[in-house]
Amino acid sequence: MYTDLIEIYHALEKNRVKDPLPELLSLIDILSQRALRKTDLSGFKEKAIRYDAAAQQRKEGVPWEYIIGEAPFLGRMFYCSSETLIPREETELLTTVALDFIKSEWKPGKKLTLIDMGTGCGNIAISLALGCQDANVLASDLSPATIAVAKKNVERHQVQRRVTLFHGDLFSPFDETYYREKIDMVVCNPPYIPTGSLQKLAPEIIGHEPREAFDAGAFGINIFRRLIKDALLFLKPGGILTFEIGAGQEKLVTRLFDKSGGYSNLAYHPDHLDRVRVISAEKLQQNGC
């Protein structure tokens, strides 16, 4: 899309159309059904962002989301900082899959307890809480700095009573006795890039976003393996584990599920390019069904 827009801009310039940039913006506004008019620049003033300083940061490759301090996710804005991953459009698929499970399970009044593992700025946890008024979400992350940002987002979206924040390594913040088999669904967008492939990420990503959000060890499966095994202790029988994977990782992850012996009904959820980017599985009922 960007290439086409740049070509249009060059054509406007070449044909000496007066004010090519406003012309292009006007076209984008029409094609985005006037979405451009909703652009809110008040944040620049509130946060005293100077345009020159912002341009300098862009020159250094700092993502816009860090410069303005927020990013969109599933139609809402979330604060983010260089300590948190910038919410990705791909992850909207995981959240939609999770919301679909909730809708199939949830009857108004039935309380659901969910875990969002590796919550980052809290975008998934908060979207789930806002999507289901009876959902309580326990959102956790290894990094206390991300949890501080998630706290701001929890307040921004006023879900303090239904999203509780924790920090620590995977399930370690959750009391094993108290939460044992109490969880309806575990959702996670884990780090899944093998350490050796991190350098192949775009410089804007690897140079500015937190490495812990991507680095999944030598084979890229460290967290998957632990997540699949440890979630069994906390999920109710019939509870759902669903997480995002990298393109092409589904075979490897399927083997980990098979090896654990604790799940059934594996489902593969493709993105718009037909690549499996989300996997879900159901914890076996006690009798092994």
Footprint on this chain of ligand SAM (rule: CB under 6 A)? 85, 87, 91, 118-120, 123-124, 141-143, 146, 169-170, 189-191, 212-213
- 73 strand-pairing partners: 76
Closest to ligand SAM by CB, 20 vs 217, is 217
Question: Which of 116, 237, 125, 259 shows the shortest CA–CA distance to 180?
Answer: 237
Phi first, then psi, for residue 92 (nearest 5°) are -65, -30
**Least distance to ligand SAM, CB of residue 140, Å:** 6
How much is the CA Rg of the chain, to the nearest whole Å?
21
**Least distance to ligand SAM, CB of residue 25, Å:** 29
Closest to ligand SAM by CB, 100 vs 212, is 212
**Least distance to ligand SAM, CB of residue 123, Å:** 5
Closest to ligand SAM by CB, 166 vs 257, is 166
**Least distance to ligand SAM, CB of residue 170, Å:** 4
Closest to ligand SAM by CB, 204 vs 212, is 212
**Least distance to ligand SAM, CB of residue 231, Å:** 12
Length of the chain: 289
Closest to ligand SAM by CB, 12 vs 170, is 170
**Least distance to ligand SAM, CB of residue 173, Å:** 9
CB burial string 113-132: b at 16+ within 10 A, e below: bbbbbbbbbbbbbbbbbbbb
Closest to ligand SAM by CB, 24 vs 188, is 188
